[in-house]
Copies of this chain bind each other. A is one copy, B any other.
Amino acid sequence: MQDLLEVAAEPHRRRLLQLLGSGEQTVSQLATHFTVSRSAISQHLLLLCEVGLLQARKQGRSRFYALNPAGVTQLKAQLDSFWNSELDLLVAEARQLNPGALPHAAPPDNGASS
């Protein structure tokens, strides 16, 4: 799994990226927001690091993870290239036909995976 978008799309990892938007955090800090173990979170972070979406900084016995601007930029580019104008048009038409009933997604925590 080296594809940026695919890596970023997994619900737990998606949430991690969002959480890190407000600044660097340690594994344990991040893990408090999830129901799965610290270990699981650590592995997600490691993968995010591997594909360049995160950076790590070690301090004492803690390890601070932070977003890597270059990676995030690359992800944005991949997203933009995926979501083309035809898809946008389709959504616009759907909104016109059925204006009120848009779902808004984003449940509170445990991104129910697979």
Contacts of A77 in B (CB 8 A): 102-105
Contacts of A17 in B (CB 8 A): 82, 87
A77–B105 Cα distance when bound, in Å, is 6
The reply to whether A5 and B14 form a contact with Cβ atoms under 8 Å apart is: yes
Interface residues of chain A, those whose CB is within 8 Å of chain B, are 1-6, 8-11, 14, 17-18, 21-22, 67, 69-70, 72-74, 76-79, 81-84, 86-87, 90-91, 93-95, 97-98, 102-106, 111-114
Contacts of A97 in B (CB 8 A): 69
Contacts A76-B83, A79-B79 known; list 10 others, CB within 8 Å. A18-B87, A21-B86, A21-B90, A69-B93, A69-B94, A70-B98, A72-B94, A77-B105, A78-B105, A78-B106
Q: Per DSSP, are chain A's interface residues mostly helix, strand or loop, or mixed?
A: helix
| Chain B residue at smallest Cβ distance from A76 | B91
Contacts of A22 in B (CB 8 A): 86
- 5 smallest A-B Cβ distances: which pairs? A21-B86, A9-B9, A69-B94, A78-B105, A81-B106
